[in-house]
Amino acid sequence: MNKLLPLIAVLALSGCATSETTYLKNGEQGLSIDCSGEANAWATCYEKADASCAGTGYRIVGTDGTPSPQESDKTLGVDVGNYKNRSVVVVCK
Protein backbone atom coordinates (compact mmCIF):
# COMPACT_ATOMS: atom_id res chain seq x y z
CA MET A 1 0.00 0.00 0.00
CA ASN A 2 2.88 2.38 0.80
CA LYS A 3 4.23 1.97 -2.74
CA LEU A 4 0.81 2.53 -4.26
CA LEU A 5 0.19 5.89 -2.57
CA PRO A 6 2.92 7.83 -4.45
CA LEU A 7 1.70 6.40 -7.74
CA ILE A 8 -1.85 7.55 -7.03
CA ALA A 9 -0.56 11.02 -6.09
CA VAL A 10 1.41 11.32 -9.34
CA LEU A 11 -1.57 10.21 -11.40
CA ALA A 12 -3.84 12.70 -9.64
CA LEU A 13 -1.45 15.57 -10.33
CA SER A 14 -0.75 14.67 -13.93
CA GLY A 15 -3.00 16.57 -16.25
CA CYS A 16 -4.72 15.67 -19.42
CA ALA A 17 -6.55 17.67 -22.00
CA THR A 18 -10.08 16.86 -23.09
CA SER A 19 -11.67 17.69 -26.40
CA GLU A 20 -15.18 17.72 -27.75
CA THR A 21 -16.70 18.51 -31.11
CA THR A 22 -18.15 21.97 -31.48
CA TYR A 23 -19.68 23.95 -34.32
CA LEU A 24 -18.75 27.50 -35.20
CA LYS A 25 -21.29 30.18 -36.11
CA ASN A 26 -20.56 29.62 -39.81
CA GLY A 27 -21.41 25.91 -39.44
CA GLU A 28 -17.81 24.74 -39.60
CA GLN A 29 -16.93 21.80 -37.33
CA GLY A 30 -14.16 22.36 -34.81
CA LEU A 31 -12.74 21.01 -31.59
CA SER A 32 -13.04 22.65 -28.21
CA ILE A 33 -10.02 21.58 -26.15
CA ASP A 34 -9.85 22.12 -22.39
CA CYS A 35 -6.45 21.89 -20.74
CA SER A 36 -7.23 23.63 -17.47
CA GLY A 37 -5.49 22.83 -14.23
CA GLU A 38 -2.28 23.34 -12.37
CA ALA A 39 -0.52 20.39 -14.00
CA ASN A 40 -1.20 21.53 -17.59
CA ALA A 41 0.09 24.31 -19.81
CA TRP A 42 -0.92 25.89 -23.09
CA ALA A 43 1.40 23.40 -24.77
CA THR A 44 -0.91 20.62 -23.56
CA CYS A 45 -3.77 22.19 -25.55
CA TYR A 46 -1.68 22.41 -28.70
CA GLU A 47 -0.38 18.85 -28.33
CA LYS A 48 -3.97 17.61 -27.97
CA ALA A 49 -5.00 19.63 -31.04
CA ASP A 50 -2.16 18.14 -33.06
CA ALA A 51 -3.03 14.61 -31.95
CA SER A 52 -6.76 15.13 -32.56
CA CYS A 53 -6.16 16.43 -36.07
CA ALA A 54 -4.09 13.34 -36.94
CA GLY A 55 -1.07 15.32 -38.07
CA THR A 56 -2.93 17.26 -40.77
CA GLY A 57 -2.48 20.52 -38.90
CA TYR A 58 -5.02 22.88 -37.42
CA ARG A 59 -6.11 26.49 -37.37
CA ILE A 60 -6.67 28.21 -34.02
CA VAL A 61 -10.07 29.88 -33.96
CA GLY A 62 -10.02 31.16 -30.39
CA THR A 63 -8.40 30.88 -27.00
CA ASP A 64 -9.62 31.63 -23.53
CA GLY A 65 -7.87 31.41 -20.23
CA THR A 66 -5.54 32.69 -17.61
CA PRO A 67 -2.47 34.37 -19.13
CA SER A 68 0.96 32.98 -18.37
CA PRO A 69 2.64 34.72 -15.42
CA GLN A 70 5.86 36.67 -15.76
CA GLU A 71 9.01 34.91 -14.56
CA SER A 72 9.22 37.43 -11.70
CA ASP A 73 5.78 36.34 -10.45
CA LYS A 74 6.83 32.70 -10.06
CA THR A 75 8.12 31.07 -6.88
CA LEU A 76 11.47 29.39 -7.51
CA GLY A 77 10.68 29.42 -11.22
CA VAL A 78 7.34 27.65 -10.81
CA ASP A 79 3.85 29.13 -10.88
CA VAL A 80 2.21 27.69 -7.77
CA GLY A 81 -1.09 28.15 -6.02
CA ASN A 82 -3.28 29.35 -8.88
CA TYR A 83 -5.78 27.21 -10.74
CA LYS A 84 -5.44 27.90 -14.43
CA ASN A 85 -8.32 27.94 -16.89
CA ARG A 86 -7.25 27.24 -20.45
CA SER A 87 -9.24 26.34 -23.55
CA VAL A 88 -8.70 26.60 -27.25
CA VAL A 89 -10.99 26.08 -30.24
CA VAL A 90 -9.35 24.71 -33.37
CA VAL A 91 -10.40 23.59 -36.83
CA CYS A 92 -8.47 20.71 -38.40
CA LYS A 93 -7.08 21.35 -41.89
Q: What backbone phi and psi angles, to 5 degrees, belong to 67? A: -70, 155
CA distance 9 to 64: 28
Model confidence pLDDT, tens digit, residues 20-76: 999 999 999 999 999 888 778 888 999 999 999 988 999 999 999 876 666 666 666
**The whole model's pTM is what?**
0.68
Report whether pLDDT(78) > 60: no
